[in-house]
Structure 1
Amino acid sequence: MKVKICGITNLEDALDAINAGADALGFVFYEPSPRYIRPIDAKKIVEQLPPFVQTVGLFVNESSKHINDICKVAHMQLAQIIDDEDTTEFDNLEVTYIKVERIESKEDLENLEDSFKLVDAFVPGFGGEGKRIAIDWFKGLDCSKIILAGGLKAENLKELKGFGFYGVDVSSGVEQSKGKKDNQKMIDFVKVAHEI
């Protein structure tokens, strides 16, 4: 199972996440977030990363131009996009992207397109709230193209066994405080994810 650790704000956390075995690092370019990072600061971190680690920029209701510009400056390889307000013109994106689907009901899951997507619990704000989607909503669904986010931590990951999720995305579940990661929590999380 692939693991993305999101909300990276400093080089130490980025390197610790990689050493823990993370496949991808997420950088939040949504200014109201306590995990927000300026594109130029993200670039400085990315320039010091080892190869074969994917960098992912998180965007909320932004234009394609804005996403393209930030990804270029910050060296993001993938854009993770919440587009609740239909702001993003996806055809104009110059970067590979994945859509975030914010789920409120089992029906929302059943109506998803057959493509890779990141699925998170719907909350009034955006990201890092620690709210979980009911795992039993996924019973009987093909989860092989779903990256699950929301309320995950090492202690509850085992509940995902048998569903066949492509990957998991964690932020608050491996933090000491908002924007600062806990090295041991990252190690424990990745270890359990890789055992599933």
Structure 2
Amino acid sequence: MRVKICGITNLQDALDAIDAGVNALGFVFYEKSPRYIDPFEARQIVDLLPPFVQSVGLFVNESSKHINDICKVSNMQLAQIIDDENNTDFDNLNIKYIEVVRAKSKKDLEQLNKNSYYLIDAFVEEFGGAGKRVALEWFDNVDCSKFILAGGLTSANLKELKDYNFFAVDVSSGVEKSKGKKDKEKMKEFIKSANGK
């Protein structure tokens, strides 16, 4: 299973995540987050990433222009967008994107376009990194092959996902020693578990 580690704030954590076998690194461009990173600082990290490790920028209720500008400055390859307030005009984005669905019930999953990929997170009042899990039974009898699951994941509970065929998993607080600082061993364990080892 593919793994994205979100909330990267420094080069060492990025390198440790890559060493552990991560597929994508997430950079939070939401200023109220404890994991926020300045776009120019993110660029300095991204410029040192090896090939085949994707850079993903996380945005919350931002305009298309803002997302385009920040992604250009920071050299993001993908925008991960929470758009609860309908601020984003997706047709005007210059970058590939994935929408975040902050699920409140199974119905939120059933209404999605079957041809698109989505990141599914648990609904919480704050945005991201709260460690709250989506109820797994909501995914029963649902095709999860285009879903990236986020929220409350750790190496210990990944095995519960094995029958659901998620495209990928996204983790932030589950591999941290403190907010915005990753734990090298937790990242290794998480990716090992995601790969069924």
Q: TM-score, normalised by structure 1?
A: 0.99
Other-structure match for 1:139: 140
Name the residue aligned to 2:82: 82
- Name the SS for the 1:129 alignment partner: coil
Q: Deviations over 1:53-104 (max 9, x none)?
A: 0000000000000000000000000000000000000000000000000001
Q: Deviations over 1:160-191 (max 9, x none)?
A: 01110000000000000000000000000000
Which residue matches 1:186?
187
Match of 1:98 in 2: 98
State the Cα distance separating 1:134 from its structure 2 match.
0.8
> What amino acid sits opposite 1:31 in the alignment?
E
Using the alignment, how far apart are the partners of 2:111 and 2:49 within structure 1? Answer: 38
Give the match's secondary structure for 1:56.
strand
Hey, which bits of structure 1, 4+ residues long, moved more than 4 A?
none
Q: Deviations over 1:104-146 (max 9, x none)?
A: 1111112222110000000001000000011111010000000
Corresponding residue SS for 2:159: helix
Q: Secondary structure at the match of 2:195?
A: helix
Corresponding letter in the other structure for 1:76: M
Distance of 1:152 and 1:110 partners within structure 2: 22
Matches within 5 A, 1:15-94: 15-94=15-94
SS in 2 for 1:86: coil
SS at match of 1:72: helix
Give the Cα–Cα distance (whole angstroms) in 2 for the partners of residues 102 and 90 of structure 1. 18
One-letter code aligned to 2:157: N
Distance, in Å, in 2 between the alignment partners of 1:33 and 1:46 is: 20
Q: Give per-residue Cα distances to partners, 1:22-54, cap 9 Å, x unaligned.
A: 000000000000000000000000111111100
Structure 1 stretches of 5 or more lacking a match?
Answer: none
Residue type of the alignment partner of 1:85: E
- State the SS of the aligned residue for 1:195: coil
- Describe the superposition over 1:143-166 as per-residue Cα deviations: whole angstroms up to 9, x where unpaired: 000000000000100000111000
- Equivalent residues in 2 for 1:150-169, closer than 5 Å: 150-169=151-170
Percent identity between the two aligned chains: 69
Alignment length (residue pairs) = 196
Q: Name the residue aligned to 1:177.
A: 178
Paired residue secondary structure (2:149): strand
**Equivalents in 2 of 1:102, 1:4: separation in Å?**
17
CA distance in structure 2 between the partners assigned to 1:108 and 1:83 by the alignment:
14
- Work out the CA distance in 2 between the residues paired with 1:94 and 1:194: 33
Q: CA RMSD in A?
A: 0.8
List alignment gaps of at least 5 residues for structure 2: none
